[in-house]
Every structure is written in structure tokens, then in C-alpha cells.
Amino acid sequence: MPSFEVDRRFCGPPKSGNGGYVAGRLASFLEVDGPVAVRLFSPPALGKALEVLAIDGGVGLFDGETTVAQARTVELSIEPPTPPSFADARDAAKRFRGFEERVFPGCFVCGFERQEGDGLRIFPGDTQADGLFAAPWTPDASLAVENGGCVPPEFIWAALDCPGAFAFPQPEGKIILLGEMQVELLGDVELGEPCVLTSWKIGQSGRKHMTGSAIYGADGTCRGVAQGLWIEIEPDAVPRS
């Protein structure tokens, strides 16, 4: 029975795994080339073996009797807007609202309290052009594993995750958590390659928000796209310590 642990380095909220990273880890067990959807049902525990089991239509991730997530193949049709340049994305990152909101400042992906070589430090800010948000990102050597000079897929999933949470205004008195992520990886990203991440709002229904995100390599080609479903919840529903 396969299993994996989410290292504490890869947290989102302080006590649970980053949704995109965990979704990417689970998606790899499907061993498919096309788009994959991962729905998250409960916070992924840190530093604990989580079991991967075959389920009808895909694979599931379990913490004992608790369903953490489920992955399945999906059809994904999403057309990302034209991305800004790396320099313009760097300028947009100065307007990252997370610097002031400080919702999850220790998040592996968007946490500004994480140091270089530890967190991804992706800070999407408003490009001031048609609701598009963008951030620069150059993946570092700390992400290297056995697949040579390419960024492992779970880190691309993670990089595509958090930008969506900043593509719409922060709901007053609530926090936002990822409910589902649909991703199609379109090409490799090299370690040390200057990339641009973009995100944008697709729609909203009550406390659910739909967003898109994309990653572009140094040559401007799109290397991956994602559609995220975000859910508003009460702040005290997420353990902080």
C-alpha cells in the first residue's frame, strides 16, 4: 500500500500541507499525461504517513478513516490571458496584498516569512491590466530531486496554487482555502529558469470562488495551467498553533 508524508517544510496553513503541493503528490499516482483534478476534503496532516488507495475513478489519499483528497482525470479547457514580462511581473509583486493581510505568512508557496531556498516566495500582485495578477519565480536548487534539472511536478502544482487565492478580493472576516484544483502540465520547467506566474478571477457563487492560473517559462511558452476552486471559511476553523 503506497503512502507518503508531507514534510513540515511544505505547509500552507501552519498545521497542514499546502493544498497544491499535496494535490500534485497525489496526482502523480494516476500516472497519466493529461489534466488531473484533485479535490481536498480535509487538511493534510504534516509529518504523518498518508495512505494512497485506488478508488472508483481515480485514487484517494487517506489519514486513517478520514478522506484527505481524491484525484481523477478530467477534461480542462482554459485559455490564459497574455502574460506580462518578467520585469512587469516583478513590479506587480510589489503590490502583493499578502504583505499586509498576513493570513498565512509561513506558507511554503506565498509566505513572505520563508527564506530563499526554503519557501517558493511567490507574491502575485495586480498588474493593473484587466484583472490579471502576476509574480516572478525562479525555482532554486532546493527543489531538485532525482529527475535531473527539472522542477518536480508537485512543485509546479504548488506554484499554480496560491496565485489563485489572490486573484479576487479577500472576503471580509473570512479566510480562503483550496477546495479543488484542476491542472494540466504542458512542459518542463528547469531549475534556475526565470518564470512568470499569472492568475485571474473566473467567477463566484456564494462562498465559492473560481480562478485560473498559468506558468510561463523564460521563452514565454506556457508550461502549465490550472483552475482553482476556493472556499470561504471562518478563521477559527484553521488551527494556527
Give the pLDDT band (50/70/90) at residue 147: low
| pLDDT tens digits along 36-95 | 999 999 999 999 999 999 999 899 999 999 999 999 999 999 999 999 999 999 999 999
| pLDDT tens digits along 96-120 | 999 998 889 999 999 999 999 999 9
Please name which of 239, 198, 200, 241 lies closest in space to residue 217, comparing C-alpha atoms: 198
Predicted confidence at residue 25, as pLDDT, reads 97
Predicted confidence at residue 154, as pLDDT, reads 97
Predicted confidence at residue 144, as pLDDT, reads 85
Residue 236: is its pLDDT beyond 90? no
Q: How far apart are CA 195 and CA 183, in angstroms?
A: 17
**Torsion angles phi and psi, residue 129, rounded to 5:** -145, 100
Residue 170: is its pLDDT beyond 90? no
Max alpha carbon distance in the chain (Å)?
49
Predicted confidence at residue 240, as pLDDT, reads 63
Give, as one character, the DSSP assignment of residue 84. P
Tell me whether strands 175-185 and 36-40 are parallel, antiparallel or unpaired.
antiparallel
Predicted confidence at residue 146, as pLDDT, reads 67
Predicted confidence at residue 103, as pLDDT, reads 85
Mean pLDDT for the stretch of residues 124-148:
90
Q: How far apart are CA 36 and CA 34, in angstroms?
A: 7
Predicted confidence at residue 222, as pLDDT, reads 98
Map out the domains of the chain as residue ranges.
Answer: 3-73, 86-237
Task: Give the three cell numbers for residue 162.
Answer: 496560491
DSSP 65-76: TEEEEEEEE---
Give the pLDDT band (50/70/90) at residue 241: low
How many residues comprise the chain?
241
**pTM of the predicted model as reported, rounded to 2 decimal places:** 0.96
- Contacts of residue 24, defined as CB under 8 A and 6 or more positions apart, other chains included, come to 38, 153, 154, 155, 156, 157, 158, 183
The answer to whether domain 3-73 and domain 86-237 are alike in fold is yes
The continuous run of DSSP H or E covering 60 comes out as strand 58-63
DSSP 113-151: TSPBTTB-----EE-SSTT-EEEEE---GGG--SSTTBP
Task: Give the three cell numbers for residue 238.
Answer: 484553521
Mean pLDDT for the stretch of residues 135-154:
89
Q: How far apart are CA 98 and CA 111, in angstroms?
A: 8
Task: Give the three cell numbers for residue 106.
Answer: 509561513
- Give me the percent of the chain exceeding a pLDDT of 70: 98
CATH number of 86-237: 3.10.129.10
The continuous run of DSSP H or E covering 225 comes out as strand 222-233
Task: Give the three cell numbers for residue 91.
Answer: 513590479
Residue 176: is its pLDDT beyond 80? yes
| pLDDT tens digits along 201-221 | 999 999 999 999 999 999 999
Topology, domain 3-73: Thiol Ester Dehydrase; Chain A (3.10.129)
Average pLDDT, the chain: 94
